[in-house]
Amino acid sequence: MIEIIPAIDLIDGRCVRLTQGDYAIKKVYEQEPLDMAKMYADCGVRRLHVVDLDGAKAKEPCNLRVLERLATHTSLDIEWGGGIKSEDALRMAIDAGADRVICGSVAVDNRELFASWLQQFGSGRVILGADVRDGKVATHGWLKESQIGVEELVEDFLSSGLTQLICTDISKDGMLMGPNFDLYVALQQRFPAVDVTLSGGISSFADVERADELGIRAAIIGKAIYEGRITLKDLERWLQNV
């Protein structure tokens, strides 16, 4: 059964959601990150997806105090991304409580370094984050375009032991119009040894059910929860059957 991973995006320590990765189009929510995390845990959620949007722009983690609070006050498996450009940054995130660390830009800009992290820290801890716009991977908080496709990027790291991929379709992110299911089905079929996580576009629980039917292994849900399209009761009912 598909794993549901709620998302918390952070700017200045607060929960926000962007639309199509545009920092100029953001909505700030009143919920505190720790309060949100505790509500998810109470529903039976096991893993939490947290993105340090300040860190993505600054090229180094900026919200580690929030990470420390989440790790200290919940038992959630926390995957953390944003600003992981150096081994020091990777270690800082782990030391602050991240169970898994998402690396995106560095995997494009310095492939040898990312491959070494997979081997040194293990594929269970290091996740490849590939954010896709018009078929190409975008980096640096979605502000820069590369010329590499997600399939090519994954291929590059299979020999280094890659087992986890989070792929975000930027065109769908924050739009509440449904995911690009074809993208994720194709990726999972091409790379069966890699756990592919859908990110971007989940608009209702029908999308979750459809992803499950298609054999997608995990899905990140953000704005649909904040906007009430998917309720905590929905999550709880689903997770009770897992």
Catalytic residues, which ones? Answer: 9, 131
Strand partners, 7: 49
Count of C-beta atoms within a 10 Å radius of residue 192: 8
Answer for the pair 143, 130: CB distance below 8 angstroms, yes or no: no
CA distances from 230 to 2, 44, 204 (A): 16, 15, 6
If 0-12 CB within 10 Å is exposed, 13-18 middle and 19+ buried, where does residue 139 land? Answer: buried
Answer for the pair 73, 38: CB distance below 8 angstroms, yes or no: yes
